[in-house]
């Protein structure tokens, strides 16, 4: 396997090789992660509402483990369809004000499955250039024409829609909140273009579900555009603090996915304990609005403090706050300096982000206190000066 070693050597030389580092939640200290022998303020996870360690979720999972066993034993189309799956999907549809819902193993498989079920050869998919890799891969596997428009550039999208006007089916797909930049899609404009060109619209709410909306439904609900979106996808691995994904839409769309979404058809169902945990997390997401309210305030406060310290903190109001440094080496130096300041800020490098835009992607949680965040900014500034990414 010399070719592997050679390629890995090239990655290492460009500061792009990835490695696995053990990380353990700090007992009794929400918002902290242990690496090595030190507890670090965790500003890198997607546990937006701080639910991953919630005792009520753990209790629901323990009860389900006793009642239903460890695994589903088969796909849902064989013998794996326990009643609790349908009960959860009914609750999800109610939450999303949709006709029906379907649970998938994770967000990646949901996007790959949905896109592959909706389009194929002779069709065209219009995708924002900064969409998640699962969307990009789903389009490639579907064999539809992939028309990528410049990030949030609606005129470019309009041009591409006109260029592919003769496609059999047209699908516009976008992240609601972009995972590495934290800014929003232009959903109102996308809805208008969908109407004008007879396209379907799919929105990935992975990073906006739980964060926006009256009951955490997501950005589409927050903007009053839910009924204009044909397919909603969301995950349980961010705000819900668990694992898995869901898709909501009309009854006919969900029936179609049950029959055509290959990752759903050919995968064992999620363990029943996970389903029970999700159901409890959904209750908390809907009822505990204080988590959402504080997260919004914390995001505003943290961004403002970073800018005052001299950083460019990115646009948007989401809990994703990127600090771009450009080069891969600089991002790694900054990450190491942050760890020396007892802050966990992971370096994000290509291909996750475009070349020349390496960054620290700070990600906030409702478990962070105001004093912690303000103190963190002071330490981030020291780390930035130490790493040479912030002027003295």
Sequence-separated (6 or more) residues with CB below 8 Å from residue 260: 116, 117
Cβ neighbourhood burial of 26 (10 Å; 0-12, 13-18, 19+) = middle
* Closest by CA position to 385, among listed 348, 343, 337, 315: 337
Token pair recorded at residue 339: 């760890």
* Closest by CA position to 230, among listed 339, 155, 118: 118
Options 194, 197, 221, 238, the catalytic residue: 238
- Residues comprising the chain, all counted: 392
2 is catalytic: no
Options 127, 134, 179, 239, the catalytic residue: 179
Q: Strand pairing of 145-149 and 200-204?
A: unpaired
Our CA dihedral for 374, 378, 383, 386, rounded to 10 degrees, sits at 170
At 146 the three-state DSSP class reads: strand
Q: Is the CB of residue 217 less than 8 Å from the CB of residue 255?
A: no
238 is catalytic: yes
Cα–Cα distance between 191 and 151 in angstroms, integer? Answer: 16
Options 170, 194, 207, 232, the catalytic residue: 207
Active-site residue list: 179, 207, 238
């Amino acid at each position: 396997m010399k070719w592997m070693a050679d390629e890995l050597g090239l990655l290492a030389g460009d500061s792009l090789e990835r490695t696995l580092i053990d990380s353990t939640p700090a007992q009794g200290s929400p918002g902290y992660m242990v690496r090595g022998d030190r507890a670090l303020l965790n500003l890198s996870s997607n546990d937006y509402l701080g639910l991953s360690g919630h005792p009520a979720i753990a209790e629901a999972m323990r009860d389900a483990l006793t009642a239903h066993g460890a695994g589903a034993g088969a796909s849902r189309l064989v013998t794996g369809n326990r009643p609790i799956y349908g009960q959860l999907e009914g609750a999800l549809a109610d939450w999303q004000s949709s006709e029906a819902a379907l649970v998938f193993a994770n967000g990646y498989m949901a996007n790959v499955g949905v896109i592959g079920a909706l389009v194929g050869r002779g069709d065209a998919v219009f995708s924002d250039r900064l969409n998640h890799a699962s969307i990009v891969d789903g389009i490639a596997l579907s064999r539809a024409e992939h028309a990528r428009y410049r990030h949030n550039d609606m005129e470019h999208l309009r041009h591409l829609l006109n260029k592919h006007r003769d496609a059999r089916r047209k699908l516009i797909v976008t992240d609601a909140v972009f995972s590495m930049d934290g800014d929003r899609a232009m959903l109102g404009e996308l809805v208008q273009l969908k109407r004008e060109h007879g396209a379907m619209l799919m929105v990935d709410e992975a990073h906006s579900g739980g964060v926006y909306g009256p009951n955490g439904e997501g950005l589409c609900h927050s903007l009053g555009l839910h009924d204009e979106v044909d397919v909603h996808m969301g995950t349980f691995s961010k705000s819900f603090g668990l694992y898995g994904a869901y898709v909501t839409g009309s009854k006919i769309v969900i029936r179609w996915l049950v029959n055509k979404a290959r990752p759903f058809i050919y995968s064992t169902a999620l363990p029943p304990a996970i389903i029970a945990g999700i159901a409890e997390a959904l209750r908390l997401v809907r009822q505990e609005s204080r988590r959402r309210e504080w997260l919004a305030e914390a995001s505003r406060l943290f961004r403002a403090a970073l800018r005052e310290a001299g950083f460019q903190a990115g646009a948007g109001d989401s809990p994703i706050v990127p600090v771009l440094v450009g080069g891969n080496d600089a991002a790694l130096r900054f990450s190491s300096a942050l760890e020396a300041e007892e802050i966990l800020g992971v370096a994000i490098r290509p291909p996750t982000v475009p070349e020349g835009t390496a960054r620290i992607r700070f990600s906030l949680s409702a478990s962070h206190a105001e004093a912690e965040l303000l103190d963190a900014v002071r330490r981030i500034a020291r780390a930035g000066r130490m790493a040479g990414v912030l002027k003295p």
